Structure 1
Amino acid sequence: MSQTRIGVVGVGVMGSAIAGRFLRTGHAVTLRDRDPGKTAPLAAEGAAVADTAEALMAASDVVILSLNTAEIVEAVVFGAEGLAAHARPGLLLIDMSSIDPGATAAMAARLRAETGMGWVDAPLSGGAPAAAVGRLTLMMGGEAPEVERAREVLRAVAANMTHMGPAGAGQTTKLINQVLCACNFLAIAEATRLAQDAGVDAERIPAALAGGRADSRILQEFMGKMARRDLTPTGRIDNMLKDLEATQRFAMALRTPMPLTGLVAELHRIMVAAGIGGEDSAAYMKMFDFGTAR
């Protein structure tokens, strides 16, 4: 049986990791990105590159989006010569971006009404390293038959997939995920600096705490990275700020108090204002290095 043909729109850090995993698991992959330089490495490995939305849709059974904002997603799908203009029966759109839940629900309904095409929101956790080895966690929203179809396709990149409800429910769950991750990242950065100032080898702490209540995947993956100031890209601080601000808007509409999230968001704004928004999560350590010899 032939593999599902995958189209990927948005080939940044995450999009390239997702597309690369599909390519290396035997899928035909077609890429589209505004920046041709981002598609070149995967094209060298055998991915096709579409110059137009029409070409991408013609070459794909499933189209995956990995984009930064709801506005960009809307423009890519519904803009002039967008994906919707070239929809056909049987195509499925899977949005792996992290965007507003309400906007997602509205766009999913619009796509179905205008084209009959299904939309599954499947934002992710685990970052590029997990995508590269097929270990992402996905929070999914949409109609059950389409979510099941998406699940079969996404087994190549994900180990944990949960259907949370109708369109937008996956995005709501992702906002909750980002609150937990952002608070944990900054707590680990702060603890790393405390360990270093106290003369304790911070790179040994993850092993020392493994299995205890303070343990977490972020601790295991990032404390040593932070201690070494290893800025190898796995994500971006400004993307986390984007998600925190989306969470604040969502919570404000519900009048849900989120004082810790507010503080963490302000600290992210400080880091973005300081010019490190484009750097990896390990660069949280720079906030604790301001004004020191480190």
Structure 2
Amino acid sequence: MSNVLESAEQSCDATEAPCSAIETILSPRVADLGGFSVRRLLPTAKRKMVGPWIFFDEMGPADFPAGEGINVRPHPHIGIATVTYLFEGEILHRDSLGSLQPIRPGDINLMVAGSGITHSERERREITESDHRLHGLQLWLALPEAHEETDPGFHHYPGNDIPAIEVNGVPVRVMMGSAYGVTSPVRQFSETLYLEATLEAGQTLELPQAAERAVYVARGALTAHGSELPAHSMTVFAPEAGVSVTATEDTRIALIGGEPVGRRFIEWNFVSSRQDRIDQARDDWRAGRFARVVGDEVEFIPY
């Protein structure tokens, strides 16, 4: 989706013992996009990325009456791979490669922008004909420099292909990377971690280690090392072993992390290690030099 918001954050005092495992607690900036709320956690003014992850939005939950729904017109990307994951509802993905793929809860859509791609996100008529709900996450991975100009691509992974395990009674799905002894089939370009877990009140989950990692509370609330982590907060943890979170009510979390890929510039929907590459992409979009979305060629989002 297109870049529309910024985030706010607060810092945990790492000199205090209860907070030693916590580097930063981020709070979202929320906007209502015509009955559809978006919470943005990354990037922020002080925390640009977590590992390779440079963008993190929670979409909804939003309830749409019949005749309404998600309707994101064609727009471009470079230098990233987008990851779309739904808790509820359905989105119809189209792109300039000719991909046409509905994404449903549990699936993963991985769109590799690389040297440049255009896509749209709408809903099928069968969905918009009745009342419906949408809730999910939209994330961007910054590609390593060696892959920033790779050929664009699109990969769909059905929910049944994503490893699901229990860790001390906590259901966990490993969407990208390796954790708890299992590895996701989802393509990665650098060391990347993305998982979700659902904890019942009182359950504790020890977090997998990563060079950088953060936990987003999509629903419920947690405590971790003496700090309260409320719904819709993102907590960046230090890369030490033995860090765990405990649910104070029934809770759903998403964990992201991995190895940093270096400094990135971000402007609108463009990400690159080079500002001049972003300038070129901006000029290309304004001049109509990006390929059009197959089957969705008329509309577009202006720069």
TM-score normalised by the chain length of structure 2:
0.27
In terms of fraction of residues, the more strand-rich structure is 2
In terms of fraction of residues, the more helix-rich structure is 1
TM-score normalised by the chain length of structure 1:
0.27
- The higher relative CO (CA closer than 8 Å, separation ≥ 6) is in 2
